[in-house]
Amino acid sequence: MALAGNPNTGKTALFNRLTGARAKVGNYPGITVDRHEGLVRLGSEGRVARLLDVPGSYSLSARSEEERIAVRAIAGLEGEERPGAVVLVLDGTQLGRNLYFALQVIELDLPTVVAVNLTDVLAKEGRVFDVQRLRRALGVPVVALSARSGEGVDDLRAALAGVLDGEPEARPGWRWEPGTDALRRDVDEVHAALPPTWRDGNPRRERALAVWALLSLDEGDELRGIDGRLRAAASAAHERASVEGRSIDEEVVAGRYGWIEEHTAGVVTARASARDSFTSAIDRVLLSPLLGFPIFLALMTIVFQALFAWADPAIGAIESLFAWLGGVVGPALPEGFLRSFVVDGLIAGVGGVLVFLPQILLLFLFVAVMEDTGYMARVAFLMDRIMKACGLHGRAFVPMMSGFACAIPAVMATRTIERERDRLLTMMVVPLMTCSARLPVYTLLIAALYPPGRGDSFQQGLIMAGMYLFATVVALIATAVLSRTVFAGVNPPLLLEMPAYRMPQLLGVLRTMWERSTIFVREAGTVILVATITLWALLSFPADPELGPELAGRLGAAEASVDNARSGAAPDPAALESAEQRLAKVEAEISSLQLNESYAGRLGRGIEPAIAPLGFDWKIGVGLIGSFAAREVFVSTMAIVYGLEDDGEDTATFRQRLSSEKRPDGSKVFTPLVCVSLMVFFALAAQCMSTIAVVKRETKSWRWPLFMLSYMTVLAWVGSFTVYQGGRLLGFE
Amino acid sequence: MVTTTLDQLRPGQGGRLVSLGGERLFRRRLMELGLLPGSRVSVVRAAPLGGVLELEVRGSLLSVRMSDAAILSVEVS
């Protein structure tokens, strides 16, 4: 069975009711839209049916592949299974517009049950809904229900069981008829051009598909795999109509609305105004010229604060849990390859996936609540002017803002944007927003701008703010450029329904959070895990570097003095401590040697010619490779590269070490200019394999993540090159 | 009776839609949402930053950009 209807009708709530919130999430082939399917219990004899949740839309007519999903899923075209029954969900408070969609589905002549939802709201507004009249007009079973309270849902189950058994009452088919000879001729001509795969000997369904083609197809549509003859027939009909001074679209749409007005007037008693008092009272405040924007900013601050700060304790807890786990499991395994693989590859990798969950859960909590209440449409309304300036829809605001916390949940939140083009464009630029993983890198590099022991914290704060501003401006420019190049094409105008405000439902919100999290762990998580293990291997092998006689000698001496201090008759704590410190120092040197001789180290040397024009040496190259795990890993990787003992947690020591690092010619590596160049690189490069993995999952292909990686790397290189070489020309160091 | 474009109406004002301009796709979508020639439409409010108008049509609330509203002509009585 297929569940179809307008957006904002409570269709998802009904799906959750019917399927008991257990759905299988798949995807429609070739398009980045999730496909939800669940099992519905019908009656008491344990009878079950599969139910497909068709994406909500206002019409079956389509210009893009995404919009065509509805007609494909309902009519069972092009690889989609034809449903045994269609459940049409209508919003009882907006019956006229919902019936426009219903008529199109009924024309397809499939067994259909109409479920009129929100009868609880109608009752509250004191309005009466006449079920029998609507049933007589439409000729199919009509059930009044409330998906929210569950009232009437069992009647729907019973009606569905009846329809599946071939109950004769379900008599779909054409309700309105093309009124003029000219329109009938247009329909007949397109009907004659229908491809064989769309024909099944049911003349009513075939005529319905012909009308669909007339409304959807022309030379400018973006549909793939449409029969050329069919499109030509539709285009020819439109051309002739325009010569005759007619509009086929208007005749068809007005024909259906005319039928609706004639046959269903008074099915629901009218309301004084379209604006129910509750929604308009809230909107008078939330969208008021004076308060609307400040309230919006305050709400967004809460969302952002949650992602940025409230998620932190949970993230820290997950990190400590996996560090603890590594500490427990590690010693139980034999030293060497296996221990390193399990602790640094496997456990660290799983931890690296789960660490994103707090932000994903929190963001989807807010997104689901904003969607369910109806506020998300208001966000688009308020922000459209600003977002439009760079070629985006107002709905792109929440994902873009979330990008300041972390690109992973932000990329996932792009699914609230209806159009695929806007969704992809937003995904491509979200990673340019300054995420929190860049902060540790900036902190270290900004400190390195000043001579050791000095540094003006106010100035440092300004530089940090400057980095945020710089990245945001670049992101907006990149959006504007991409929207006019890679994503050029017709930009359909904004048409935004402002749904009535409703209370969000806990079950639905929890379900969204759960579903997004499990999909992330299962699908993006595996890619992240494989990438983590690959990176671990690059950084860890070859495992045993040649120590050389001098280092081997010092290691032996340090180990011996620790043993001595331990085994002496009267243990001297001071001697033991200093011996252990010496040993730790030698071991850090060995780690540094191992990393520098590893595949990642060799790769760092390999890319040196490419990064030398940016002012980076091969050691920085190793840090850049390591930071693909996550940007902040740059700090700890550099700490190992430079043989520091504490993973770079002590900024002051690290800062000292950076200032003493010299190139082979004796000049300093970390000059202020190199630090700025490196910050620009981190601002612009796609140094994050988790982002790449999540874009892969959301776009269902490698094409977009690879495009993102390429354009951002080029952008970063050009940016750093300009800063470093330009700075040198201007005489900076 | 005065014929003007929708973007010229102030919040609270309304009229009868006379014709829809613009691209075929935009016209078709508006009509499918119930905004047909002859339909009553009124302006509810403009967005605080401008650029977008909220309209009331056939019992539902729709937002369109100001530039798109400029190609819809209405008859104000």
Long-range contacts of the stretch A333-342 (C-beta < 8 A, 24+): A336/A543, A337/A543, A340/A536, A340/A540, A340/A543, A341/A533, A341/A536
Model pLDDT for residues A343-393, shown as the tens digit of each residue: 888 888 888 888 888 888 988 898 889 888 989 889 889 988 888 888 888
CATH of B2-76, one of 2.30.30.90, 3.20.20.140, 3.40.50.1980, 3.30.920.30: 2.30.30.90
Q: What is the mean pLDDT of residues A156-171?
A: 80
Residue ranges per domain, chain B?
Answer: 2-76
Asked if pLDDT for residue A275 goes beyond 60, the answer is no
Pairing state between β B52-57 and B60-65: antiparallel
Query: Residue A452: what pLDDT?
Result: 67
Instruction: Tell me: is residue A440 an annotated ligand-binding position.
Output: no
Respond yes or no on whether ipTM tops 0.90. Answer: yes
The alpha-carbon radius of gyration of chain B (Å, integer) is: 11
Query: Residue A202: what pLDDT?
Result: 86
B53, B63, B66, B71, best to mutate vs chain A, most A CBs in 10 Å: B63
CA torsion B67-B68-B69-B73 (nearest 10°) is 110
Model pLDDT for residues A84-131, shown as the tens digit of each residue: 899 999 998 888 889 999 999 999 888 899 999 988 888 888 888 888
Q: Do A287 and B45 touch (CB under 8 A)?
A: yes
Query: Residue A80: what pLDDT?
Result: 83
Query: Residue A217: what pLDDT?
Result: 85
Round to whole Å and give the CA distance between A708 and A695.
Answer: 9
CA angle A606, A610, A612 (to 5 degrees): 100
3-state secondary structure A94-105: HHHHHHHHHHHH
> Worst-scoring range by mean pLDDT, A48-57, A230-239, A641-650?
A641-650
Round to whole Å and give the CA distance between B30 and B24.
Answer: 10
Round to whole Å and give the CA distance between A382 and A403.
Answer: 19
Q: Do A275 and B27 touch (CB under 8 A)?
A: no
Structure tokens given for A87 = 């459940």
Round to whole Å and give the CA distance between A148 and A135.
Answer: 23
Q: What is the DSSP letter of A15?
A: H
Asked if pLDDT for residue A602 goes beyond 80, the answer is yes
The tokens 């699908």 sit on which residue?
A: A523
Model pLDDT for residues B2-53, shown as the tens digit of each residue: 889 999 999 989 999 998 888 888 889 899 999 999 999 999 999 998 889 9
A142, A134 Cβ separation under 8 angstroms: yes
Chain A residues with CB under 8 Å of B24 CB are 218, 220, 249
Cα–Cα distances in Å, from A432 out to A52, A444, A699? 37, 20, 18
B47 CB within 8 Å of a chain A CB = yes
Long-range contacts of the stretch A211-217 (C-beta < 8 A, 24+): A211/A107, A211/A187, A211/A252, A212/A60, A212/A61, A212/A71, A212/A104, A214/A186, A214/A187, A214/A190, A214/A238, A214/A248, A214/A252, A215/A59, A215/A61, A215/A248, A215/A249, A215/A252, A215/A253, A215/B28, A216/A61, A216/A62, A216/A63, A216/A68
A498, A501, A502, best to mutate vs chain B, most B CBs in 10 Å: A498
Topology of the domain covering A2-177+245-264: Rossmann fold (3.40.50)
Asked if pLDDT for residue A712 goes beyond 90, the answer is yes
Maximum alpha-carbon separation in chain A:
113
Model pLDDT for residues A471-525, shown as the tens digit of each residue: 999 999 999 999 888 888 766 678 888 988 988 888 888 988 888 888 888 888 8
Asked if pLDDT for residue A453 goes beyond 70, the answer is no
Percentage of residues in chain A with pLDDT exceeding 70? Answer: 96
Fill in the amino acid letter for A13.
A
Q: Residue A706 — pLDDT band, cuts 50, 70, 90?
A: very high
